Structure 1
Amino acid sequence: MNFKISQRKAFLTEQKNKGQRITIGFTGIADLRSFIALEYIEGMMKAAADYDINFINMGAAIKYSLFEDINFVNHYMKNFWFMKKPFLDGLITWASSLREFVDSEKILKTFNSLKPLPMIDIGHLDIPGVTALRIDSDSSVQMIMEHLVKVHGYSKFAFIGADVSEPHRKRLSAYKNELKKYGLKEIENSVYMANSMSVISLSNTVTRFLQDHDIRKKEIEAIVTTTDIIAAEVINQLEKNGFNVPKDIAVTGFNNWYDGITAKTPVTTVNLEYFKRGYMAVELLIDKIMNPNSPCKIVRVKTSLVIRQSCGCFEKSVQNAGKKIDLTEDETEISEQQLRQKLIFKLLEIFKTEKEVDVENLVNSFFNDVYLNPEKSCMLEWFQNHLQKYSHIASSNAAYLQNLVTGFRNIFIPVLKNENLETILRIEGIFHQMRTLITIFTKYETLAERENPYRLNNISKNAVDLSDAMNLDEIIELLKMQLNEMNISKAFLALNESNSSNINDTKIRLIYPEPKEELKQKLQFKIHEPYQFPKSLFMDTRYSLMLEVLHHSDKYFGYIFLEMKFLNIAYYDVIRLLLSNALYSVRIKKADKKNDFLLETSEINRLLKKQNPTESKRNRITIKNLTDYLQKNISEKTNLDKIAEHFMVSRSYLSKKTKELTGCSVQELHEKMKIEQAKKMLLSDNFSIFDVTVALGFANQNYFSNVFKKNTGLSPGNWLKRK
């Protein structure tokens, strides 16, 4: 084991033995549904699992639609309230991802405020005193240019980027250095930097390029771009103008984004090693936690070249599948047992996760197929069993499996060089069957995905049920059903007792699944600050969680931690949206229904200590206008200054006049009216005690119960039992 890895594991084991398992978080704003962000998070989660530490995803996804709340960034910033000790031991940041929404000065101020919390940044914004993990742009552009110049012999280049960020400008600088290195002239009007990444801007840029250069005369042989988004749009615009990539001109990208894969011609690009960077970020963060005073540094990550068709090549897997197999190696001098061992050794290099006994079975299957010629291929049966280990065959796994077939075909075929043609063709046929089997498994998975509408139907039904929930208890029961439907096996819910503009002073309302007896005592546990959330609730097992802050417009209800079973946080956003809307419905909409239970004049008069007092019509304050005001503001705290200002009198005059007219103080009268309305609401069976607490503006349920008992002699629950 690597010495550094051993050091980290020894430190982490020591912390764990003290009952202080390390917990790290991740924060940033991005399209966390894209495979770039997913690979980042997958790398972090894999490293957290390998090092046996806790991981909490505090990232936020860029708005999914125009209808998302315009206060998106404000909601996200609430996550920073968790980013302190003792809740987190360290944080991976993607500070530059906030630049689209927040200016750099505010970003730096926000992250600097988190110090001395150990941090590692994976973006391109320098945070003073924080180690940064960056890609090596220069070597990345070098790889592209080396391939285009040395493999394809191109010498006439153009460059298309966007003047939107520093990485684009750095790639342009590296490109110009490469031209000089190869002694190539920068052709006049061959560098184009679009004003933005929009389709219109890129379309106009390609139009200018085509006006400046005659592609059919090969004035330009290859276009180097700064991202796959630009490369894909360049290919699209070239095709619209009647040009074929790569036949008429080559195009390369950068970043290895989804756009490059789905372009009309798949884009040769640079893989920025998102998974690797996510993994390395965790390792660097552990190092920083171990040695908090170590100097900050910039760590450069080497990238890799991804060959696709836009440069004029075929993908590596296609090239390998057609690669000529070397049949010159002489195996006649070794015994069959030695040959078997040699084959096992070679196959273990391909099947890195397989046990040796399983690979030995594959070798036995090969020899059975060659010499026994069974009715059903033993190799095909072995491969079928191997495929069943994969829960998903689609996308990247399918390509990986095709490469596996190519790999062990290249190992087995040379062994057959002395066999007759019929045997060789029969074994080749088995390899073709394996490739077909991969295609069939992929097709089955595609068909299985058609079941998703049924899952969506269930989620939709739960959404309707949640929106119809009458109280918090119903919401929690329906939430449990939703979690079960989405196969999420752990959740921890904390809610405010009143609607607020922050997420302080919450109580734990749900631990899912049903906790052990000692943890049940934590229910209703009050948390004054988010970073004080008791990690003991998560129990002793290692966890990966997603944090979602629950809100509707400017009202915050609390937050929920959800087990991260899926990389795509859209799943968790579904729960956030459904739960937030349900809480809004119960707390806000239901609170609005309190007006259905306003007190009648006769009911108010019964509350007064003085009956039929003498009133002057000239007085600014009368019983009617005073009680009308208090009724209108029944959910507000009693504020003498505000009431006095409303009636344009002094505070002392307000108090004196109220006592004179009603026999009560302003505070006492308002309180009596609240409790009288609370009785009517409770008797309706449409409001829980908690609902009434929120609707009538009491600070919390305990305070409401105390005030209710002071006025009635009974707690709300006992009072209801007697009715």
Structure 2
Amino acid sequence: MNSGLSKRKAFLQSQKNQGHRITFGFAGIADFRSFIGQEYIAGMLKAASDYDLNFINFAGAIKYSFFDDIDFIARYFKTFRFMKKPLIDGLVTWTSSFCELTDVKRVEDTFNSIKPLPMVDIGYLDLPGIPSVRIDNEYSISILMKHLVIDHKYRKFAFIGSETSSPHLERLKCYGQELQKYGIQELENSVFLLKEMNSADIAAAVNKMLSCHDIRDKKEIHCIVTPSDLIASSVIEELDKHGISVPKDVAVTGFNNQYSGVFARSPVTTMNLEYFKRGYAAVELLIDRIMAPKEHFDTLLVPTSLLIRQSCGCFEQSILEAAEAISNSEEPAFSLSTKEDFRPFILEKLRQIFPNLNKNKLLTLADSIFDDIQGQKKESEILRYFQSLLQDLRKEGLFVNSEVQQKLTLLRKTILSFLPDPQKNQMENIFHQLRILASVFIEYDTIAPREDSYLMNTLSQIAINFASAKSGRQIQDVLRYQLGEMGIPGIILSLSENMTSDLGSTSLELILPEPPADIQKKLPFKITDPAFIPKFFFPQGRRYSFMVEILHHEDKYFGFTFLEIGNPNISIYDTVRTLLSNALNTVYLREGRSKKRTMLLTGEELKGILNLSEDDSSEVHNGLKASEITGYLLEHLSEMTDLDKMARELSVSKSHLVRRAKELTGYTIQTMHEKLKIEQAKKLLQVESLKLGEIASRLGFQNQNYFSSVFKKNTGMSPRAWAKRYLH
């Protein structure tokens, strides 16, 4: 065991000995039809298992929902109310995944607002104080160019990438360094940067390149290097429209190992960015940060690997290995006469290659091979046989790519060893088809659980059951009996009394599997801040992994749910959220539960508390509004007043902030913050289950006594007296 691993294990064990299992979260936005988010999460789940950690997934699912939500990003940011202690001890962030949906400053401000929570990032956006786990672009381009220059002897290159992508520009820089390293002169008009990564811009770049260079038969360009498989596959298609073949006329390479590269006309040689390993490494680095919160951590670079396919001019390794097997074959030549002469020989070989097949299947395969060798039928019998065999293996869960490829290699070696050249060529074509057939099944197995996001047959029935629910109790019954159909082991459900305009106070109503009686009798349990859900409501005595989903229908909120992760198809949890939210909307409307109220302070309440103007737009001065000041203070009710931090995050000077706050509200920042804390305290005191010490902690007071003193100064009553008057 290496020292880092042993230190982490020892630290985590010491925490468990004190009754605390570390819980970490993941914040990012992904299209879960793509594999990237899935692989990141799979790596984190594996690390959670290996290190015995709890995991809470806050990942937002975009682009595959039943209905597009134009306010998706605004709704997603509400999950940041969960991202703090004591619910989680640290967070893995994918900050760059937000940048396509909102501006960088908002992303930076949002993540900075949850400091000092320990965080580790897996994206390319630099945030001060947050170390990153990234791929090594320099290493990646280095091994790619080494293959192209040393193995293929290419010397004339072009580059097509995006001018708006930071990773693309970094890879372009590394590409230039590699050219210099090998003493290769950069060709004139050989770098093309796209404004948009769409088919029209890529086509324009290809056309411009063709107008500058004759690339047929590798005359003026040997290879086109791209920093993305999306670009590489589009370049290959565009070249084909001009009658230019890849890799015969020109080689093309990609980056990222994306699906588009696999399905390109010429499968793309690319860099595997090791998303699974990066997710795993991010969790390890986060543990290190939690262990040593004051220590500085540098960016961790994860090595990538080169995936050689066909677009660079190579064949896949399995095909090369098959050729080596033939060249090393010591099988004697075999003269065919009749099927009866052929069977004993080939059956013995097939038994060695396929020891798990029964006699009848071996005989059928032997007959198929004989028929194909004799060329008796137009369609390959071997191909049909393996189509059926691979379908059976997939159905039984026994399809393993490496094993299938190995058996095909052995079978090819056996058959080709005794065939004359004309028949060898014929059988080579069949084995090429077999490898493609196996590859197709591999891709189907890889994509099916991600692309078929909604398990439509099962979910259609579940949707009908949700739609038929006439009450909250019936909705809970649907969850109770049908979560298992979707592979979801459990749920924690917290709902508001009424649909509201924001995520506010809720009551924890349902836990599945049902907890022990002493926990069950605490339900319903009032929750005013989702980050402070008592840990005893979560599974006890074992680690857990949950997906957080906020329940809403359009602009109406019903609460939130923690769905225990069992099904690896992450998109299924968003589907449950959609079905559950629609059902709740129907029930709440039927029962008249539409009063829009929340335990959080509202804009109208703020105007009364601070005597704010009705028209906030008239209060603008140098870009600063009263609502910006009060909004910031509300978001930081759990913290002590920090003028320096506030000025920095509002992008104004401290003196300007202090002066304008007084002009706009009539109060100093400290007084305003205190008043808001006290008003929020009044709401929290309405919840009988909350103790004074917990309320004081939530509102950033040093201790319970100081909180009581400040509360009495502002209201003339102690917190207990105020609560007693309110409740009775």
Separation in structure 1 between the aligned mates of residue 231 and residue 11 of structure 2, nearest angstrom: 45
Separation in structure 1 between the aligned mates of residue 508 and residue 594 of structure 2, nearest angstrom: 27
**Which stretch shifts more, 76-85 or 27-36?**
27-36
Q: Give how far 1:327 is off.
A: 7.0
Q: Give how far 1:466 is off.
A: 1.5
Give the structure 1 partner of residue 403 of structure 2. Answer: 401
Give the structure 1 partner of residue 722 of structure 2. Answer: none
Checking the alignment, whether the CA contact within 8 Å between 1:33 and 1:61 is kept in structure 2 is no
Give the structure 2 partner of residue 2 of structure 1. Answer: 2
Give the structure 1 partner of residue 60 of structure 2. Answer: 60
Q: Give how far 1:272 is off.
A: 0.8
Give the structure 2 partner of residue 572 of structure 1. Answer: 573
Checking the alignment, whether the CA contact within 8 Å between 2:454 and 2:572 is kept in structure 1 is no
Checking the alignment, whether the CA contact within 8 Å between 2:453 and 2:569 is kept in structure 1 is no
Checking the alignment, whether the CA contact within 8 Å between 1:398 and 1:442 is kept in structure 2 is no
1:488-507, aligned counterparts within 5 Å?
A: 488-507=488-507
Checking the alignment, whether the CA contact within 8 Å between 1:458 and 1:485 is kept in structure 2 is yes
Note the alpha carbon deviations across 1:249-270, whole angstroms, 9 max, x for none: 1100011111111111110001
Checking the alignment, whether the CA contact within 8 Å between 2:488 and 2:567 is kept in structure 1 is no
Q: Give how far 1:382 is off.
A: 5.1
Separation in structure 2 between the aligned mates of residue 192 and residue 440 of structure 1, nearest angstrom: 33
Q: Give how far 1:223 is off.
A: 0.3
Separation in structure 2 between the aligned mates of residue 374 and residue 170 of structure 1, nearest angstrom: 56
Out of 371, 377, 380, the position equivalent to 2:354 is: 380
Note the alpha carbon deviations across 1:154-208, whole angstroms, 9 max, x for none: 1111100011221111111111111111111111111100101112221222121
Separation in structure 2 between the aligned mates of residue 399 and residue 74 of structure 1, nearest angstrom: 43
1:165-564, aligned counterparts within 5 Å?
A: 165-216=165-216, 218-324=219-325, 377=351, 380-381=354-355, 398-403=400-405, 405=407, 456-536=456-536, 537-564=538-565
Checking the alignment, whether the CA contact within 8 Å between 2:454 and 2:575 is kept in structure 1 is no
Checking the alignment, whether the CA contact within 8 Å between 1:223 and 1:249 is kept in structure 2 is yes
Is 1:89 aligned to 2:89, yes or no? yes
Instruction: Describe the SS at the equivalent of 1:128.
Output: coil
Instruction: Describe the SS at the equivalent of 2:549.
Output: strand
Separation in structure 2 between the aligned mates of residue 390 and residue 501 of structure 1, nearest angstrom: 52
Which letter does structure 1 place at the counterpart of 2:576? I
Which letter does structure 2 place at the counterpart of 1:301? V
Separation in structure 1 between the aligned mates of residue 245 and residue 36 of structure 2, nearest angstrom: 28
Structure 2, unpaired ranges of 5+? 331-343, 359-389, 418-430, 596-603, 609-684, 689-728
Checking the alignment, whether the CA contact within 8 Å between 2:32 and 2:64 is kept in structure 1 is no
Which letter does structure 1 place at the counterpart of 2:557? Y
Checking the alignment, whether the CA contact within 8 Å between 2:122 and 2:134 is kept in structure 1 is yes
Which letter does structure 2 place at the counterpart of 1:305? L
Separation in structure 2 between the aligned mates of residue 453 and residue 144 of structure 1, nearest angstrom: 34
Separation in structure 2 between the aligned mates of residue 233 and residue 67 of structure 1, nearest angstrom: 28
User: How has the CA–CA distance of structure 1 residues 700 and 152 changed in structure 2, closer, same or farther, with 3 Å as cutoff?
Assistant: same
Separation in structure 1 between the aligned mates of residue 88 and residue 543 of structure 2, nearest angstrom: 14
Structure 1, unpaired ranges of 5+? 330-369, 418-431, 595-636, 642-698, 703-723
TM-score, normalising length from structure 1? Answer: 0.68
User: How has the CA–CA distance of structure 1 residues 408 and 239 changed in structure 2, closer, same or farther, with 3 Å as cutoff?
Assistant: closer
Checking the alignment, whether the CA contact within 8 Å between 1:488 and 1:563 is kept in structure 2 is yes
Separation in structure 2 between the aligned mates of residue 189 and residue 455 of structure 1, nearest angstrom: 49
Note the alpha carbon deviations across 1:315-358, whole angstroms, 9 max, x for none: 122222322489799xxxxxxxxxxxxxxxxxxxxxxxxxxxxx
Checking the alignment, whether the CA contact within 8 Å between 2:353 and 2:407 is kept in structure 1 is no
Which letter does structure 1 place at the counterpart of 2:568? L
Q: Give the root-mean-square deviation of aligned CA atoms.
A: 4.0
User: How has the CA–CA distance of structure 1 residues 392 and 507 changed in structure 2, closer, same or farther, with 3 Å as cutoff?
Assistant: farther
Q: Give how far 1:117 is off.
A: 1.0
Which letter does structure 2 place at the counterpart of 1:266? P
Give the structure 2 partner of residue 612 of structure 1. Answer: none
Separation in structure 2 between the aligned mates of residue 399 and residue 475 of structure 1, nearest angstrom: 43
User: How has the CA–CA distance of structure 1 residues 67 and 521 changed in structure 2, closer, same or farther, with 3 Å as cutoff?
Assistant: same
Q: Give how far 1:300 is off.
A: 1.3
1:639-658, aligned counterparts within 5 Å?
A: none
Separation in structure 2 between the aligned mates of residue 567 and residue 377 of structure 1, nearest angstrom: 37
User: How has the CA–CA distance of structure 1 residues 311 and 442 changed in structure 2, closer, same or farther, with 3 Å as cutoff?
Assistant: closer
Give the structure 1 partner of residue 601 of structure 2. Answer: none
Give the structure 2 partner of residue 128 of structure 1. Answer: 128
Q: Give how far 1:516 is off.
A: 2.5
Separation in structure 1 between the aligned mates of residue 439 and residue 249 of structure 2, nearest angstrom: 36
Q: Give how far 1:69 is off.
A: 1.5
Instruction: Describe the SS at the equivalent of 1:309.
Output: coil
TM-score, normalising length from structure 2? Answer: 0.67
Separation in structure 2 between the aligned mates of residue 66 and residue 527 of structure 1, nearest angstrom: 30
Which letter does structure 1 place at the counterpart of 2:523? L
User: How has the CA–CA distance of structure 1 residues 65 and 541 changed in structure 2, closer, same or farther, with 3 Å as cutoff?
Assistant: closer
User: How has the CA–CA distance of structure 1 residues 65 and 574 changed in structure 2, closer, same or farther, with 3 Å as cutoff?
Assistant: closer
Checking the alignment, whether the CA contact within 8 Å between 1:192 and 1:205 is kept in structure 2 is yes
Checking the alignment, whether the CA contact within 8 Å between 1:260 and 1:267 is kept in structure 2 is yes
Instruction: Describe the SS at the equivalent of 1:548.
Output: strand
Checking the alignment, whether the CA contact within 8 Å between 1:32 and 1:60 is kept in structure 2 is no
Give the structure 2 partner of residue 349 of structure 1. Answer: none
Checking the alignment, whether the CA contact within 8 Å between 2:26 and 2:91 is kept in structure 1 is yes
User: How has the CA–CA distance of structure 1 residues 10 and 258 changed in structure 2, closer, same or farther, with 3 Å as cutoff?
Assistant: same
Separation in structure 1 between the aligned mates of residue 132 and residue 207 of structure 2, nearest angstrom: 38
Checking the alignment, whether the CA contact within 8 Å between 1:393 and 1:442 is kept in structure 2 is no
User: How has the CA–CA distance of structure 1 residues 307 and 92 changed in structure 2, closer, same or farther, with 3 Å as cutoff?
Assistant: same
User: How has the CA–CA distance of structure 1 residues 136 and 389 changed in structure 2, closer, same or farther, with 3 Å as cutoff?
Assistant: farther
Checking the alignment, whether the CA contact within 8 Å between 1:41 and 1:567 is kept in structure 2 is no
Q: Give how far 1:17 is off.
A: 2.2
Give the structure 2 partner of residue 41 of structure 1. Answer: 41
Instruction: Describe the SS at the equivalent of 1:574.
Output: helix
Note the alpha carbon deviations across 1:266-293, whole angstroms, 9 max, x for none: 1000111111111111111111111111
Instruction: Describe the SS at the equivalent of 2:132.
Output: strand
- Quick check: which has more Rg, 1 or 2? 1
Separation in structure 2 between the aligned mates of residue 440 and residue 481 of structure 1, nearest angstrom: 39
Separation in structure 1 between the aligned mates of residue 59 and residue 453 of structure 2, nearest angstrom: 28
Separation in structure 2 between the aligned mates of residue 249 and residue 455 of structure 1, nearest angstrom: 42
Instruction: Describe the SS at the equivalent of 2:285.
Output: helix
**Which stretch shifts more, 14-23 or 533-542?**
533-542
Q: Give how far 1:481 is off.
A: 3.2
**Which stretch shifts more, 197-206 or 91-100?**
197-206
Instruction: Describe the SS at the equivalent of 2:288.
Output: helix
Separation in structure 1 between the aligned mates of residue 349 and residue 198 of structure 2, nearest angstrom: 59
Instruction: Describe the SS at the equivalent of 2:311.
Output: helix
Is 1:584 aligned to 2:558, yes or no? no
User: How has the CA–CA distance of structure 1 residues 103 and 591 changed in structure 2, closer, same or farther, with 3 Å as cutoff?
Assistant: same
Separation in structure 1 between the aligned mates of residue 205 and residue 50 of structure 2, nearest angstrom: 47
Instruction: Describe the SS at the equivalent of 1:300.
Output: strand
Which letter does structure 2 place at the counterpart of 1:529? D
Which letter does structure 2 place at the counterpart of 1:175? Y
Q: Give how far 1:566 is off.
A: 2.9
Q: How many aligned residue pairs are there?
A: 541
Instruction: Describe the SS at the equivalent of 1:499.
Output: strand
Separation in structure 1 between the aligned mates of residue 516 and residue 406 of structure 2, nearest angstrom: 47
User: How has the CA–CA distance of structure 1 residues 461 and 254 changed in structure 2, closer, same or farther, with 3 Å as cutoff?
Assistant: same
Which letter does structure 2 place at the counterpart of 1:312? G
Checking the alignment, whether the CA contact within 8 Å between 1:232 and 1:263 is kept in structure 2 is yes
Q: Give how far 1:517 is off.
A: 1.5
Q: Give how far 1:29 is off.
A: 1.0
Note the alpha carbon deviations across 1:589-625, whole angstroms, 9 max, x for none: 553999xxxxxxxxxxxxxxxxxxxxxxxxxxxxxxx
Q: Give how far 1:538 is off.
A: 2.1
Separation in structure 2 between the aligned mates of residue 455 and residue 215 of structure 1, nearest angstrom: 47
Q: Give how far 1:4 is off.
A: 1.5
Which letter does structure 2 place at the counterpart of 1:516? P
**Which stretch shifts more, 542-551 or 28-37?**
28-37
Which letter does structure 2 place at the counterpart of 1:399? N
Which letter does structure 2 place at the counterpart of 1:177? Q
